[in-house]
């Protein structure tokens, strides 16, 4: 901004450049915070503190919906590589829990460009607590979402982790053409379901491995309805029959991309189905067992084994590339190709939040747990 313009602006009455009056600094934030790492039910606490007043260079946002993801829980436990700094929040030095969510801009400082009141935003980086009613910060803390009137608040609140992980893994590791196969385990996980839908929209076929269970037929049907090409159980995976069957499916063109969030023996079995020069991407370890690689798979089949962590991708890539991904994904959501994840509502209070975190630890959560932070 040139000197002339700046001096011109400084002569204007301040309120012209504010979206609301100074009374806005009366906003009280309610948040789920922690001041040390440990057992979530012990270290998480309900906390209220005054929202930092709006400045010329900051915005105020109000959170609409925030999920409680497994990684959020690991983070509170101190068992996650991403450790947010403890900041002064009112009378307490603490970090706000949660990493994902959608918020709406409710006020902008006079120097702010790129965000307007009413815009919906996600966090610009991981580790920015989302279990709170409001936040104040510079524009660079937030990233605007592409406009959409068909994508739900649930879809927006859960956009940046699972659908983005699925999107990047399908795009960044193997050169795939329509008609090509992808094989994945955890086909029923949130990422797995996003993989199925995005792959289908892009003309890719998927073989989806799930754990065997009594209600396998209904699960199979559910995933087929989402767009899965085939669903197989981990028990079937290593059998001679399945090897023959899959050969028939692939017709000489075995998958060049495998996606693994399980680990252990069946993850090794899955890797055997990849074709020469294939890529195998690990993004989770639900079985809590390492991935054992026979050397021949590396040396003679030339399978490359990668890891994927959405947090790293976001840190290492620019806003434009992330926005392009959001546009693609919200485009798929708008046309119904990528649906809402299964989710349950968590009440916005201390007890419910702690209960939800516990459910997350114990694996009792049915679908994504989502809170809708409100001041009232």
Instruction: Pick one of 8, 36, 235, 298: the residue that binds its own copies (CB under 8 A).
Output: 298
Contact segment (CB under 8 A) with its own copies among 86-94, 112-120, 285-293, 326-334 equals: 285-293
Q: Which two tokens stand for residue 23?
A: 């009374």
Within 79-108, which residues bind its own copies (CB under 8 A)? Answer: 81
Active site residue 80: yes
* Site membership for its own copies, residue 294 (CB under 8 A): yes
Instruction: Pick one of 98, 109, 192, 284: the residue that binds its own copies (CB under 8 A).
Output: 284
Residue 189's nearest CA partner among 115, 284, 273 is: 284
Instruction: Pick one of 291, 325, 330, 333: the residue that binds its own copies (CB under 8 A).
Output: 291
* Site membership for its own copies, residue 293 (CB under 8 A): yes
Instruction: Provide the b/e sequence for 168-187 (b: ≥16 CB within 10 Å).
Output: bbbeebbebeeebbbbbbbb
* Site membership for its own copies, residue 263 (CB under 8 A): yes
* Site membership for its own copies, residue 117 (CB under 8 A): no
CB 337 within 8 A of CB 200: yes
* Site membership for its own copies, residue 212 (CB under 8 A): no
* Per-residue contact string for residues 11-50; x = within reach of its own copies by CB under 8 A: ----------------------------------------
201 vs 338: CA distance, rounded Å: 8
Q: Which one from 34, 37, 49, 80 is the annotated catalytic residue?
A: 80
Instruction: Pick one of 7, 295, 362, 363: the residue that binds its own copies (CB under 8 A).
Output: 295
Within 143-182, which residues bind its own copies (CB under 8 A)? Answer: none
Give the position of tokens 């440990």: 38
Helix (H, G, I), strand (E, B) or coil at 164: helix
Residue 238's nearest CA partner among 246, 248, 250 is: 246
Q: HSE-up of 332 (CA within 13 Å, CB side)?
A: 25
Contact segment (CB under 8 A) with its own copies among 28-36, 51-59, 291-299, 344-352 equals: 291-299
* Per-residue contact string for residues 303-332; x = within reach of its own copies by CB under 8 A: xxxxxxx--x--------------------
Instruction: Pick one of 155, 282, 314, 369: the residue that binds its own copies (CB under 8 A).
Output: 282
Nearer to its own copies, 306 or 355 (CB): 306
357 vs 336: CA distance, rounded Å: 30
Number of shown-chain residues binding its own copies (CB under 8 A): 28
Residue 167's nearest CA partner among 187, 151, 145, 191 is: 191
207 vs 144: CA distance, rounded Å: 35
User: In the bound complex, what is the minimum distance in angstroms from residue 190's beta carbon to its own copies?
Assistant: 16
Nearer to its own copies, 96 or 267 (CB): 267
Q: Output the CA–CA distances (angstroms, integers) from residue 369 to 41, 195, 342, in the order listed.
A: 16, 20, 9
365 vs 114: CA distance, rounded Å: 37
Strand order in the sheet with 28-34: 44-50, 28-34, 92-96, 87-89
Q: Catalytic residue numbers?
A: 80
What does the binding site for its own copies look like in residue numbers (CB under 8 A)? 81, 263, 268, 282-285, 290-309, 312
């Amino acid at each position: 901004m040139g000197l002339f313009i700046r001096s011109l602006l400084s002569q204007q009455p301040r309120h012209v450049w504010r979206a609301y009056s100074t009374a806005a600094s009366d906003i009280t934030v309610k948040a789920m915070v922690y001041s040390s790492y440990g057992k979530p039910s012990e270290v998480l606490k309900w906390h209220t503190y005054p929202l930092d007043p709006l400045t010329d260079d900051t915005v105020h946002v109000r959170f609409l919906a925030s999920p409680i993801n497994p990684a959020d829980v690991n983070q509170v436990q101190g068992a996650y590589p991403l450790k947010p700094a403890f900041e002064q929040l009112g009378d307490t030095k603490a970090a706000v829990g949660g990493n994902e969510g959608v918020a709406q801009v409710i006020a902008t400082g006079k120097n702010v460009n790129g965000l307007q009141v009413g815009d919906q935003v996600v966090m610009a980086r991981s580790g920015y607590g989302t279990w709170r009613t409001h936040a104040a910060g510079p524009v660079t803390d937030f990233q605007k979402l592409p406009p959409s009137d068909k994508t739900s608040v649930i879809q927006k609140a859960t956009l940046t982790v699972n659908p983005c992980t699925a999107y990047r893994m399908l795009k960044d590791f193997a050169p795939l053409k329509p008609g090509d196969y992808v094989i994945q385990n955890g086909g029923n996980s949130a990422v797995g379901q996003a993989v199925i839908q995005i792959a289908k929209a892009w003309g890719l076929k998927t073989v989806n491995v799930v754990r065997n269970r009594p209600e396998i037929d209904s699960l199979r049907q559910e995933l087929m309805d989402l767009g899965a090409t085939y669903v197989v159980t981990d028990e079937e995976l290593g059998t001679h029959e399945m090897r023959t069957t899959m050969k028939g499916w692939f017709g000489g063109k075995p998958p060049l991309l495998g996606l693994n969030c399980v680990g252990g023996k069946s993850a090794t079995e899955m890797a055997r189905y990849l074709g020469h020069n294939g890529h195998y991407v690990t993004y989770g370890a639900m079985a809590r067992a390492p991935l054992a690689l026979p050397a021949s798979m590396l040396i003679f089949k030339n399978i490359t084994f990668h890891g994927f962590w959405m947090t790293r991708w976001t840190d290492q890539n620019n806003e434009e590339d992330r926005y392009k991904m959001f546009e693609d994904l919200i485009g798929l959501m708008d046309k119904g190709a990528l649906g809402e994840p299964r989710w349950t509502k968590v009440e916005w209070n201390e007890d419910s939040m702690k209960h939800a975190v516990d459910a997350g630890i114990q694996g009792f959560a049915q679908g994504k747990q989502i809170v809708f932070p409100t001041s009232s």
